[in-house]
Amino acid sequence: MKNIQPILKVKITPNKALEIDLKQYMPLGKIRHKNIIKTEFFHIDSWKSLDDPSDFKDQTARLIRFTAKKEDSIEIYPGTGYVAKKDETWRKPFIRYSGWTGGDGIFSFNIKNGRDTYDQKDAQTIFVFGDTLIGKSDPRTKKRFPPLLMPANTIAYLKGNGDNHKDIEFNINTNSHNNVIPYFSPENAMVYEGTVAQNLVNYTVDDHQGYLSGYHPEKVELLFDLNQNQHISTIDIYNYRPYPLADESMLNRGVKKIAISVSLDQDKWLSLGEFSLEKATNADKPNVIPVHKPCRYVKMHVPAKQGTGNHYDANDTAEVIFGLQKTVFYTNDNQQLCDIAVEATSELSREKKHAWFWLQDGVVIDDAIYFLPLIITPDPDKPEGLQFAVEGVSMIKSPIKNGKVDFEHHQQKPTCLYRGKKNDEWVFGAAIMNNSKASGHINADGYIYIYGYNTINGERTLKVARVKPEQFETLDAWRFYSDGAWVSSLEEASSILKHISCEMSVSPIETGANKGKYLAVFQYNVDSKYVAYAIGDTPAGPFSEPRIVYECEEPVSLGRTAYTYNAKAHPHLSKPDDILVTYNVNTYDMQHHLDNVEVYHPRFLRLKDTSIHTIDKRGDTGADEPN
């Protein structure tokens, strides 16, 4: 380690606190002294005392404070970690006054070969952005001109690893009429609402309407696709019971008789028989159907006859309709399956929501790129700038052809990677780390790690799942880290790091004192002015406490309602000891966007490893800034 000289030498007087501003956040180490009785550092909004007043133990700080009983001189030595420097050369290509004029949600991928390790000089990079502002502005006044368009996602291409980052090619998608449109828009079962069949396997929320057939259907048949061969033990069928239950008579819509068959390939079907289902007088009591058979497809047939297929009296012809609330499939090892698609011959209501995608992170596997986008819908009851709601997480697979992503031929599917309950939300896809052999990482273990978060009363904690690359599309093959074990249930996932942001990154550390460990980069508490990092022993932790590395200036310099959020690293555009990091800048006030085109685009930092780069008392690394 190069940092053997103290970064600061000061004298202190007895019983008087000495406060020092280091001018930027730095990792700190040992403190040489004789009489210090208290050592403190300022963290976010309060002073915190060190347990050992002689050692910061790599904690980062800008403001530090000492108190001694006697006159003393102290020496402060640097710790191991990272210091941050603004990188204005990377920022410049993103300051644009026509066409693409700003966006957030920036993620980067090496689509040449999927290698996400450091310093990929021959990479072919695609950047993906979330909400993007499209239009024209005045470079002199910074004001935007109408019309101002905002597609939900755009892209940019870059050849190489950043040496020529001035040559970024920004792309905006258009349709046959040259209207600006997103590259990806929701077109899967999750975007339809009503009494649709997919509700039967929608475990993300508890308050959907269940499934109802249309009036007087000629045929009532449900086809479940489990997406892979599974050995099913039982199927729990919850009869129709809408939320809320307005009247007991609605339970009569529930299915009375149902015939069930299973198949591996839809060519040969094995009948399990006909079963009687009880009305859902108890919402928590399912009808348990024994299966004990291998299958991929399950077919349920309901006799389309009043009083036979449902619980209505046969003489009541006012409403001939058939309904179920939920179906739960269990394997022989008691895993509840969630990666299930459902089709029905008849549905009472089916309407497409007004919804759009925010892409979250993704991963390149072979000749395709995958994303796990959030489905977003409007919520006008929230304050300006926050008028949206998360409805779920989808999966997108898009081919890569001739060094470009083939957006036109992408595929979508629903996922079970979201749970939405009041003041308790689960989301996966905030970060993805490819640690498979193809990634090129030094400690590649063959897995792709998918990070998510649990938000309880506004506080987010990090969770992680993993899967082999060849099973990435098979969600029931994913395993979630739970107190040292990898389990099949998302809701058993342990919290491994606090105060994280909705977008972030986790990357291997391949050099320096922490070589072999993992670096998490995030915005402290999502949308604060602080960029933070934590060091993990494994991809699943344990992680250190968050360490602040940079205080964003934009909330002050831009004023009004400007805010910063969702920091993350971009490994393949970085050197292992000099890591490129972005964070987003936005404002809650649309007029602020109109008044200043330079509000809304990514900002860039370099995180320099202090175990390799020497730092002085100003926090300078002594290394040249990138060209």
- Report if residue 3 sits inside a domain: no
CA distances from 387 to 476, 481, 521 (A): 33, 33, 27
Better-scored residue on pLDDT, 627 or 601: 601
**pLDDT confidence of residue 382:** 87
Please state the length of the chain: 627
Mean pLDDT of 215-232: 97
Q: At residue 541, does pLDDT exceed 70?
A: yes
**pLDDT confidence of residue 404:** 96
* 317 and 404 assigned to the same domain: no
Q: Tokens 């930092």 — which residue?
A: 605
| Domain containing residue 278 | 192-352
Q: Structurally, how many domains does the chain consist of?
A: 3
* 169 and 231 assigned to the same domain: no
* 409 and 510 assigned to the same domain: yes
* 389 and 526 assigned to the same domain: yes
* 145 and 159 assigned to the same domain: yes
**pLDDT confidence of residue 624:** 37
Q: How confident is the model at residue 99 (pLDDT cuts 50, 70, 90)?
A: very high
- pLDDT per residue over 164-191, tens digit each? 677 899 999 999 999 999 999 999 999 9
* 248 and 169 assigned to the same domain: no
* 557 and 430 assigned to the same domain: yes
Q: What does the DSSP assignment read for 182-201?
A: -S----SGGGEEES-GGGGG
Over pLDDT 90: what percentage of the chain? 86
**Alpha-carbon 173 to chain mean position:** 24
Mean pLDDT (the chain, rounded) = 94
- pLDDT per residue over 194-204, tens digit each? 999 999 999 88
| End residue of a domain, out of 331, 352, 373 | 352
Q: Tokens 């991928």 — which residue?
A: 109
Q: How far apart are the first and last CA of the chain?
A: 26
* 29 and 74 assigned to the same domain: yes
Closest to 358 measured CA to CA, from 503, 153, 613, 190: 153
Q: How much is the CA Rg of the chain, to the nearest whole Å?
A: 28
Q: At residue 623, does pLDDT exceed 50?
A: no
* 552 and 449 assigned to the same domain: yes
CA pair distance 618, 325, nearest whole angstrom: 63
Mean pLDDT of 109-120: 93
Q: At residue 570, does pLDDT exceed 60?
A: yes
Q: Tokens 């729990």 — which residue?
A: 236
Q: At residue 614, does pLDDT exceed 80?
A: no
Indicate if the alpha-carbon torsion angle 436, 438, 444, 449 is positive or negative. Answer: negative
| CATH number of the domain that residue 602 is part of | 2.115.10
Contact at 8 Å (CB) between 518 and 462? no
Contact at 8 Å (CB) between 373 and 411? no
Q: Tokens 């046969």 — which residue?
A: 314
- pLDDT per residue over 338-397, tens digit each? 999 999 999 999 999 999 999 999 999 999 999 999 999 999 988 888 888 999 999 999
* 413 and 557 assigned to the same domain: yes
Residues with Cβ within 8 Å of residue 275, at least 6 apart in sequence: 257, 258, 259, 260, 287, 289
| End residue of a domain, out of 352, 373, 394 | 352
Q: At residue 116, does pLDDT exceed 50?
A: yes
**pLDDT confidence of residue 422:** 74
| CATH number of the domain that residue 325 is part of | 2.60.120.260
CA distances from 484 to 119, 207, 464, 572 (A): 33, 33, 12, 30
Q: At residue 454, does pLDDT exceed 90?
A: yes
* 53 and 112 assigned to the same domain: no
Q: How confident is the model at residue 1 (pLDDT cuts 50, 70, 90)?
A: very low
* 334 and 358 assigned to the same domain: no
Q: How confident is the model at residue 617 (pLDDT cuts 50, 70, 90)?
A: low
